Amino acid sequence: MNNRSAAEIAMKSRHYTALDRGIMALDSVFADLVGTDSIRRKRPYPAATCVTTDLEEQERQHVSGLMRVNHAGEVAAQALYKAQSLTARDQELKKSMQQSADEEVDHLVWCKSRLKELGDHPSYLDPVWYLGSFSIGLIAGCFGDKWNLGFLAETEHQVVKHLDAHLAQLPESDNRSRSILEQMREDELHHATTAETAGAEELPGRVKSLMNLTSKIMTKIAYRI
């Protein structure tokens, strides 16, 4: 048996603590943040069959801002799902969260692809959005699976509202961005429904309001930076 085989067996047999898994999750997402182009999307790019149309400069800047916000939201979603899957008690719930997280990766890649088409860039504060959401996800998960799911469901419902607002602001000719946001909206609504079906607790009104306020602050900053 060579040294490499022995190391592989040791890795497989090692018992990982929550801290170990957290560090590995952080490592994987930071790798994604610095190299999103290397991530392989699992589903086709929704805009692939849409005709490219020329946007006026003001329209291009606005659409870029919207897509930057959505990309930042997907960075936050990755952190949220990873953190909550670490704290989830139920194994089936962990699997469900991982499936939703995989779909969010598609969203992440789609948004970055559209930003590249528009000649723009993701938010420079993506690591901040990630760390903040990861911390919030850990805290939410510590209150138990039902509250964990409740936080997740409310987050997804608020994302759907943001996407509705963005869809209404897109130029009529921008079918490429529209196709992406419409598919994202469908997925996010499904994630919310899945969480509610799994037994999500309804969050207190004050918590929802605080989440909404935090989201608005993030949106305003990510639109420009």
pLDDT tens sequence across 105-138:
889 999 999 999 999 999 999 999 888 888 887 8
Mind listing the domains of the chain with CATH numbers? Answer: 18-224 (1.20.1260.10)
What pLDDT score does 4 carry? 44
Q: Is the pLDDT of residue 37 over 70?
A: no
Cβ pair 83, 134 in contact under 8 A = yes
Q: Provide CB contacts within 8 A for 41, sequence distance 6+.
A: 105, 106, 109, 110
Average pLDDT over residues 61-79: 92
Whether this prediction's pTM lies above 0.85 is answered by no
**The total number of residues written for the chain in this structure:** 225
- Using 50, 70 and 90 to split pLDDT, how confident is the model at 223? very high
What pLDDT score does 204 carry? 86
Exposed (0-12), middle (13-18) or buried (19+): which is 207, by Cβ within 10 Å? middle
Rounded Cα distance, 29 and 9, in Å:
25
Cα 155 from chain centroid (whole Å): 11
- Look-up of token digits 């779909």: 103
Of residues 155 and 99, which shows the higher confidence score? 155
Average pLDDT over residues 70-83: 86
DSSP per-residue string spanning the chain:
--HHHHHHHHHHHPPPPHHHHHHHHHHHHHHHHH-GGGSPPSS--TTTTSPP----HHHHHHHHHHHHHHHHHHHHHHHHHHHHHHH---HHHHHHHHHHHHHHHHHHHHHHHHHHHTT----TTHHHHHHHHHHHHHHHHTT-HHHHHHHHHHHHHHHHHHHHHHHHHS-TT-HHHHHHHHHHHHHHHHHHHHHHHTTPPPPPHHHHHHHHHHHHHHHHHHHH-
Cβ pair 67, 111 in contact under 8 A = yes
Rg for the chain (alpha carbons), in Å?
18
- pLDDT tens, 3-33? 444 444 444 445 556 556 556 655 655 555 5
Of residues 45 and 17, which shows the higher confidence score? 45
Average pLDDT over residues 69-85: 85
